Structure 1
Amino acid sequence: MEIVGYVLVAAGLILLLAALWRFTSVRNHGSQGLLRQMPAEGVHGWRHGVFLYSGESLKFYKLRSLAFKSDIVLCRRGTEVEGFRDVTDAEREIMPDIDRVLVLGSPSGTYEFASDRRARMALVSWLESAPHERQMRRDLKVPAQRAQRGRAYRS
């Protein structure tokens, strides 16, 4: 019976350390905001968290999660701004300092993003400044091979 107690205490300590690590490593970085995946009604589905820009992806870490990785990842090139909407009266109770909600569309679904004006503008700027997929070269070996073919004919 004592062994079960030790195992439970050890498991509790591990969970506590994981929560502390998550809280300290994520909370002090990125932009704070709320995110929810659609469809959702009323105030259901909103999750508090931190957004971190990581190269070509936006990573969302829920504050109440113990996962060691991000909870949601949105690809920069696959995510588009679908528009804005005003905050409802019910939503204003859980997020009093927020006046507008940003609606995002991505291959994984539609999301709503709520944060202060600066974080919202930063996200929109980051998304809109991404190069279009057609502007990106798929394979850098193809232009090199074409260049080599031209040299072969000259020899």
Structure 2
Amino acid sequence: MEFITWALVIVAVLAVVLAAWRFFTLRSRGTTVILRHLPQNGLHGWRHGTLRYNANDLEYFKLRSLSPMADLILNRLSVTLLDRREPTAEEAVFMSEGSRVIHIKSKNEEIELALDSHGEMAFTAWLEAAPDARSEHSISAHELQRFRFGEFGKGTQKDK
């Protein structure tokens, strides 16, 4: 019986340490957000969390989660901004003052994000900084070196 008690205490301590680590590390390095997946009715589905920008990925961490991994990852090239709106009167009760709701689509999933003005600006800048898919092409390291030294298009020594 004593073994079971100690095991439960150890599990509880580990859960508290993991929750504290996640809370303090993510809150200090991310943007506060309230997110919900659509379709939803009324006030249902809103979840508090943190957004973290990681190159071409946007990582969402739920506030009430113990997982060390992101709960949702969106790739910048698959995200489309559909609409912006002001929160409804009911939504404004649990959102910070000055929040706006952004409606996005990622692949086949529609999501609403409630962000303050700084968060909205950061999200929009991250989204607009996406490279144009048409301009992405691969170039070998050798071609890049030739281009860098002004030899691109002149051919190699063997060609002459």
Distance 1:75 1:96 in 2: 27
Shift of 1:141: 3.8
**In the alignment, what sits opposite 1:30?**
30
Tell me: CA distance 1:132–1:16, structure 2 relative to 1, closer, same or farther (3 Å).
Answer: same
Q: Structure 1, residues 3-42: CA drift from partner, whole Å, max 9, x if none?
A: 1111111110110111011011101112111111111111
% identical aligned pairs: 33
Count of residue correspondences? 154
Q: Which deviations, in whole Å up to 9, do the C-alpha atoms of 1:112-146 show, x marking residues without a partner?
A: 01011121122112101211212112x334994xx
- What is aligned with 2:77? 77
Q: Unaligned regions of 5+ residues in structure 2, if any?
A: 144-151
Aligned to 1:67: 67
Instruction: Determine whether 1:117 maps to 2:122.
Output: no
Scaled by the length of structure 2, the TM-score of the pair is: 0.85
The answer to whether 1:151 aligns with 2:156 is yes
RMSD of aligned C-alpha atoms? Answer: 2.5
Q: Unaligned stretches of 5+ in structure 1?
A: none
Cα separation, 1, equivalents of 2:80 and 2:100:
17
Distance 1:108 1:140 in 2: 32
2:147 corresponds in structure 1 to: none
Alignment of 1:31-70 (within 5 A): 31-70=31-70
- What is the TM-score with the length of structure 1 in the denominator? 0.87
C-alpha distance in 1 between matches for 2:96 and 2:121? 18
Aligned counterparts of 1:6 and 1:100: Cα–Cα separation in 2: 48
**Whole-angstrom CA distance in 2 between matches of 1:89 and 1:106:** 27
